[in-house]
Chain A
Amino acid sequence: MSIPSSFVRPTTRPDEIHRLLTDVERYNPSNTVLLEDYLARQCANPDSTSNHDLMANLALLKLYQFNPEMLDHDVIRRILAKALISAIPADFNLCLYLLTDEVCKDASIAKLLALRESLERAQFVKFWRDMYDPEDEEEESVVDGIAGFDNGLRKLILAEITATYQKIPLASVQDMVNLDEEAVLRLAKENGWAVDGPVISLPAKSEVKASVISENVKFEQLTKMLSAANDI
């Protein structure tokens, strides 16, 4: 099964950035601006399949790690917010490893960590509640400036739901993706789900049934034995 990978060069990565990532130039502090600009472009692009370049963002975090005087909390916030809606769940932690306790104390970043925790535990209802907490005193949201954040996130949540459920109450889906009934019904139509009154039936991705895992021996694995047989 092929999967989206964070480590393959995305088609949207310019040559200039690619050269920088594969060279010792990645340590040159004067390239910070280049990578920050590139991040801004990633954030402005709402298409969640082509707008995330983890490797470039990790390189930027590394430059901050080496040159703490250049560190910009708002850039880190945006990198983490992008990783939050990445289709690959491991991306977020890979970014975190390059930070420090100090950085995580920043209010926006701390909030993103808490949001991530709800997401990881599939507590989607809690996630939306915290995300748009009316009592939050901060004027700006922690995901400001990330185009298509909500929809990117909904996609991820829907993927989790379809992987687990075959039948689910309409109301549950509404809560989990934070949309009203009308919008969910529209989603159902787009994805071809059957809606039967208050229940949504999802097409089974793979049927759940008992199976026998049999081993898979490739011809190449037997070359040693076969060449020995040739000697006889």
Chain B
Amino acid sequence: MYQETYDDEEFVGNIDVVADSYANADEIEDAGDIDDEELLMQAQAGVQSIPEQVRTFLGYLHRNLQSGKVNDLTYNYEMQFPRLSEKYYAKASWPEPQYVAALVNDDGLFLILYRELYYRHIYSRLHPSLEIRFRSFENYCDLFNHILNSDGPTDLELPNQWLWDIVDEFIYQFQSFCTHRSRLNKRSEEEIALLKENSQVWSTYSVLNVLYSLIQKSNITEQLRAQQQGGDAAQVAGEFGGRLLYKMLGYFSIVGLVRVHCMLGDYTLALQTLENVELGNSRALYTRVMACHVSVYYYVGFAYLMMGRYADATQAFVHILTFVSRTKQYHQRQQVDAASKKAEQMYALLAIAVSLSPVRVDENIHAYLREKYADQQHRIQRGGEDALDVISELYLFACPKFITPNPPNYEAEVVEPQAYQLRTFLREARLQLVVPTLRSFLKLYTTMGVDRLSGFLEMEPAELKNQLMVYKQRCRQVKWDGGSDLLSGELVPSTDLDFALEMDMIFIAESRVGRRYADWFIRNANKVQDLVVVLENRQKDTIAGKPKVDAVAA
């Protein structure tokens, strides 16, 4: 199914053209004169140029991959690889795959995985050229072909973090390509010609094809459903899905799809995709990789925000931000850095959500928001054009990168999905701004004439009556009811201030939040329990004739 969208041989031909047009002119001349012997020498020199430490590392990595030692691979991948990248390749690419081939007896599968790391490193530290982008796509095709289209399941085993990174990077490079492609004014004519010729490279259909194929091959949807209903996931896993590699790749592809749907502005489909991924379950599979955990909640929160479900967005962001801040010390520095970056963005989105629809949030999160965004929140609540500017600023800092799924019309002007999505979001958000403004006045009275309020607001009475209707509508919100379907929910009031209009009179009522007893009772119940445990232990000690610990200490 995968080859359909990807014609191998023809593609390789095109790649050569790319390589030529990119190579330095001098080198092309030289290449004509080089004979076989010189090539061999060049290769040897290439191998020689690899530092000893890196060569040893590649040897280990190769052996561990062959013998399937996942724990050792985790160490290779999460500790050694970043360390060596920092030490030797901070501003350069890793050794050319062709030189590495000599070290690993041309092991094809190893080289595919190595190339994945090699290109990923270039993307993260250098500027990938169009040629690199094409080649990296070709390499992903090789990798997924191996996994999806071999006769039986592959014996390959990789750590979860690595598998997540593969899926995540695949989508990142797709997004990066789409953005690169759409910046027409920066592309040369040769590049545009190449892009036109290779429209199937990084095409949206091919990317979706990979993700859906991984999901189908692993039967992950069936597995999750079985698990949710208390059944045995292994029974429905099938030949492929029974292997951890397929299961996790399938699972990560679901999360990846959510990201792709959000990048395309399809928020309903994004949330629908997560139907069987139990949000809020602390043992769900997404918790096995921190970046995946963060990603799930970032996109869920973002999708809710775009749908105008501010309370749900707030809940999603608060949940994951609390998790990130509490578990920082248990994760690798690298993962924490990435998570912290996303967390910063989520705080910005949270600032938008709670300003538009104020609710009480966790105290630590609230304190951080106050410290960082107090000014912005205040300006949003004051309303007007300034509020929209602040929202736009926060939004652009924190939103995902949107893409257009098709190649641009190379002759026409560029379309900007980023700006379009923001404008559409503001259509909705701007209405919400009516709430804080009106509320601040209504709060002060129990009855009030429309003409009086319109005087305060310097607004025509007729328009004020309209705004009061908008207020009424904006004070009800759909909120997720905790079921497996993230789209469903119930309508709940989102404000503490209600009113009714009788002709030109406004009757206002404010509801107050009563004292919260549950928390107090739970805390004290826990205290009593602790006390009982301590007393029981003392009693046991006394019976056993042991001296009291406290007494000795004293």
Chain A residues with CB under 8 Å of chain B are 1-3, 5, 7-8, 24, 27, 54-55, 58, 62, 65-66, 68, 89-90, 93-94, 96-98, 100-102, 117, 120-124, 160-161, 163-169, 199, 204, 208-215, 217, 222, 225, 228-229, 232
- On whether A122 and B466 interact (CB within 8 A), knowing A101-B415, A232-B532, the answer reads yes
A7 touches B488 (CB 8 A): yes
B518 touches A217 (CB 8 A): yes
Q: How far is the CA of A225 from the CA of B529 in the complex (A)?
A: 10
B522 in contact (CB, < 8 A): yes
Most chain B CB neighbours (cut-off 10 Å) among A3, A101, A122 = A122
- On whether A97 and B490 interact (CB within 8 A), knowing A120-B427, A165-B501, the answer reads no
Q: Given A90-B428, A213-B513, list of 20 further CB < 8 A pairs?
A: A3-B491, A5-B489, A7-B487, A65-B264, A65-B405, A89-B473, A90-B309, A94-B267, A98-B264, A164-B501, A165-B500, A166-B502, A167-B502, A208-B507, A209-B509, A212-B512, A212-B513, A215-B518, A225-B525, A225-B526
B212 touches A211 (CB 8 A): no
In the complex formed, the residue of B with least CB distance to A117 is B427
29 A–B contact pairs at CB < 8 A?
A1-B492, A3-B490, A7-B268, A7-B487, A58-B269, A62-B266, A66-B204, A66-B205, A89-B473, A98-B264, A98-B265, A100-B420, A120-B427, A121-B431, A121-B467, A124-B466, A160-B469, A165-B500, A165-B501, A166-B500, A167-B503, A199-B503, A211-B511, A212-B514, A213-B496, A214-B514, A222-B522, A225-B522, A229-B525
What residues of B have a CB within 8 angstroms of the CB of A199 in the complex?
Answer: 503
B485 in contact (CB, < 8 A): yes
What residues of A have a CB within 8 angstroms of the CB of B518 in the complex?
Answer: 215, 217
Q: How far is the CA of A215 from the CA of B517 in the complex (A)?
A: 8
What residues of A have a CB within 8 angstroms of the CB of B417 in the complex?
Answer: 100
Measured CB to CB, the closest approach of chain B to A121, in angstroms, equals 6
B470 touches A163 (CB 8 A): no
- On whether A208 and B307 interact (CB within 8 A), knowing A102-B415, A167-B503, A217-B518, the answer reads no
Interface size class of B (residues with CB under 8 A): 35 or more
A213 touches B511 (CB 8 A): yes
- On whether A208 and B473 interact (CB within 8 A), knowing A62-B269, A122-B467, the answer reads no
Q: How far is the CA of A229 from the CA of B530 in the complex (A)?
A: 11
Q: How far is the CA of A221 from the CA of B272 in the complex (A)?
A: 27
B268 touches A211 (CB 8 A): no
What residues of B have a CB within 8 angstroms of the CB of A214 in the complex?
Answer: 514
In the complex formed, the residue of B with least CB distance to A98 is B265
In the complex formed, the residue of B with least CB distance to A97 is B265
CB contact between A210 and one of B405, B488, B510, B526 (< 8 Å): that residue: B510
> Which of B451-489 touch A at CB < 8 Å?
463, 466-470, 472-473, 478, 485, 487-489
Q: How far is the CA of A8 from the CA of B469 in the complex (A)?
A: 28
CB contact between A93 and one of B212, B428, B468, B501 (< 8 Å): that residue: B428
What residues of B have a CB within 8 angstroms of the CB of A62 in the complex?
Answer: 264, 266, 269
In the complex formed, the residue of A with least CB distance to B503 is A167
Q: How far is the CA of A117 from the CA of B416 in the complex (A)?
A: 23
In the complex formed, the residue of A with least CB distance to B490 is A1
Measured CB to CB, the closest approach of chain A to B347, in angstroms, equals 24
A3 touches B469 (CB 8 A): no
What residues of B have a CB within 8 angstroms of the CB of A204 in the complex?
Answer: 500
- Nearest 10 pairs of A and B residues by beta carbon: A97-B265, A122-B469, A7-B487, A122-B466, A167-B502, A214-B514, A211-B511, A208-B500, A217-B518, A212-B514
In the complex formed, the residue of A with least CB distance to B532 is A232
What residues of B have a CB within 8 angstroms of the CB of A102 in the complex?
Answer: 415
- On whether A229 and B529 interact (CB within 8 A), knowing A1-B490, A7-B268, A55-B268, the answer reads yes
B404 touches A100 (CB 8 A): yes
What residues of A have a CB within 8 angstroms of the CB of B205 in the complex?
Answer: 27, 66
What residues of B have a CB within 8 angstroms of the CB of A213 in the complex?
Answer: 496, 511-514
Q: How far is the CA of A93 from the CA of B429 in the complex (A)?
A: 11
- On whether A232 and B208 interact (CB within 8 A), knowing A90-B308, A164-B469, the answer reads no
In the complex formed, the residue of A with least CB distance to B208 is A27
B500 touches A164 (CB 8 A): yes
CB contact between A121 and one of B424, B470, B490, B512 (< 8 Å): that residue: B470
Measured CB to CB, the closest approach of chain A to B61, in angstroms, equals 36
Q: How far is the CA of A58 from the CA of B406 in the complex (A)?
A: 18
B509 touches A94 (CB 8 A): no
What residues of B have a CB within 8 angstroms of the CB of A165 in the complex?
Answer: 500-502
In the complex formed, the residue of A with least CB distance to B513 is A213
Q: How far is the CA of A62 from the CA of B489 in the complex (A)?
A: 24
B499 in contact (CB, < 8 A): yes
B470 touches A94 (CB 8 A): no
Q: How far is the CA of A27 from the CA of B466 in the complex (A)?
A: 42
- On whether A66 and B421 interact (CB within 8 A), knowing A55-B268, A97-B265, A120-B427, the answer reads no
> Which of B411-426 touch A at CB < 8 Å?
415-417, 419-421, 424
B186 in contact (CB, < 8 A): no
Measured CB to CB, the closest approach of chain B to A194, in angstroms, equals 13
In the complex formed, the residue of B with least CB distance to A172 is B465
Q: How far is the CA of A100 from the CA of B470 in the complex (A)?
A: 27
Q: How far is the CA of A62 from the CA of B266 in the complex (A)?
A: 8
Measured CB to CB, the closest approach of chain B to A7, in angstroms, equals 4
B485 touches A7 (CB 8 A): yes
B333 in contact (CB, < 8 A): no
What residues of A have a CB within 8 angstroms of the CB of B87 in the complex?
Answer: none
What residues of A have a CB within 8 angstroms of the CB of B487 in the complex?
Answer: 5, 7
What residues of B have a CB within 8 angstroms of the CB of A65 in the complex?
Answer: 264, 405
Measured CB to CB, the closest approach of chain B to A62, in angstroms, equals 6
- On whether A5 and B466 interact (CB within 8 A), knowing A97-B265, A100-B415, A210-B509, the answer reads no
B210 in contact (CB, < 8 A): no
CB contact between A166 and one of B307, B478, B501, B509 (< 8 Å): that residue: B501
Q: How far is the CA of A5 from the CA of B501 in the complex (A)?
A: 28
What residues of B have a CB within 8 angstroms of the CB of A208 in the complex?
Answer: 498-500, 507-509
In the complex formed, the residue of B with least CB distance to A69 is B406
In the complex formed, the residue of B with least CB distance to A104 is B420
What residues of B have a CB within 8 angstroms of the CB of A160 in the complex?
Answer: 469, 472-473
Most chain A CB neighbours (cut-off 10 Å) among B268, B308, B501 = B268
Measured CB to CB, the closest approach of chain B to A170, in angstroms, equals 11
B306 in contact (CB, < 8 A): yes
What residues of B have a CB within 8 angstroms of the CB of A167 in the complex?
Answer: 501-503
Most chain B CB neighbours (cut-off 10 Å) among A7, A204, A232 = A7
Measured CB to CB, the closest approach of chain B to A124, in angstroms, equals 8
What residues of A have a CB within 8 angstroms of the CB of B513 in the complex?
Answer: 212-213
Measured CB to CB, the closest approach of chain B to A164, in angstroms, equals 5
What residues of B have a CB within 8 angstroms of the CB of A121 in the complex?
Answer: 431, 466-467, 470
CB contact between A163 and one of B266, B472, B496, B509 (< 8 Å): that residue: B472
Q: How far is the CA of A68 from the CA of B405 in the complex (A)?
A: 10
